Amino acid sequence: MSHRQRWEDQLKRGLAEMGLEMEEFRQHLLLEYLTLLYKWNKTYNLTAIRDPEQMVSRQLLDSLSVLHLVQGTRVLDVGSGPGLPGIPLAVALPESRFTLLDANGKKTRFMQQVKTELALKSLEVVRSRVEDFHPTKRFDTVTTRAFASLSQISRLTGHLVETGGRLLAMKGIEPKEEIEALSAEGVEVKVIPLRVSQLKGLRHAILWRTAVVPWSDP
């Protein structure tokens, strides 16, 4: 069985186990993205995940595990790297506009290639350091994955989030010290355990807002 056939089986099973519905052609787009990532990673070292048996769970399904936590129609993925979680989320949420931000040239070139080959018109790729990025409009949700500590994320991205908007940080184990540090700054956070099919280990989403807005269930 080829990598592509195994990936297709893993993706279908994973989506079903996670209770996520997705049209066949969007699953096809995700697999096309994974194929490009696998090919480019051999030359450009875009991600440390090189085992094809782990790519669906650790890159696609892990990214999609926060799908239900994305709010609004303007989404920024900071430190997107090869497009994670931004590209899988953009494929799943075609009505939203996604901006993928990274300072690394080879990674932004890869993301631009993915945008072109997959015809992801709602996607924008920006090469910039986060502190130097000053768009004309702020974002409803800002996502990060393996980017920085929670306090650093809050400090670096605060100017990018719409009032009442949401910061969404993807973490492994619950980062209790980071949460305590952010709480000491007067920030209320929500910790959401994530379920990722076929992935061993704990995953959590940390949510907080840029203004004092009462939390409702995500």
Q: How much is the pLDDT for 186?
A: 87
The whole-angstrom separation of Cα 212 and Cα 164 is 7
Domains and CATH numbers, the chain: 3-209 (3.40.50.150)
Q: For residues 86 and 64, is the Cβ–Cβ distance under 8 A? A: no
Q: How much is the pLDDT for 201?
A: 84
Q: How much is the pLDDT for 176?
A: 95
Q: How much is the pLDDT for 42?
A: 86
Q: How much is the pLDDT for 1?
A: 59
State which residues of the chain have pLDDT below 70: 1, 211-218
Q: How much is the pLDDT for 211?
A: 53
Q: How much is the pLDDT for 64?
A: 98
